[in-house]
């Protein structure tokens, strides 16, 4: 079922709302499962949303 996001939600621009990811290290546990390391977004600290100053589009564009 789709999840609706309110229009005033401040989604983090760095992680696009996916604040935590599991990254494999390439090694395995004794039972054969992979070793995973959870990593959180540095901008929103794992919250998925950002403060208004971070989520607001910048008025300055590169190259202009």
Walk along the chain (64 residues) and give the pLDDT tens digit of each residue.
566 655 556 778 778 888 888 888 889 999 999 999 998 888 787 787 776 666 556 565 555 5
Question: Would you give the end-to-end CA distance of the chain in angstroms?
Answer: 42
Separation between Cα atoms, residue 64 and residue 60, nearest integer Å: 8
pLDDT for the residue 34 = 93
pTM: 0.52
Query: Which residues does 61 contact at the CB level (< 8 Å), separation at least 6?
Result: none
- Indicate the helix (H) or strand (E) that contains 17: none
């Amino acid at each position: 079922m789709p999840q609706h996001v309110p229009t005033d939600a401040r989604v983090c621009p760095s992680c696009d709302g996916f604040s935590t990811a599991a990254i494999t290290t390439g090694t395995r546990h004794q039972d054969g499962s992979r070793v995973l390391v959870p990593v959180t977004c540095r901008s929103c600290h794992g919250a998925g949303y950002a403060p208004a100053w971070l989520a607001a589009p910048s008025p300055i564009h590169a190259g202009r």
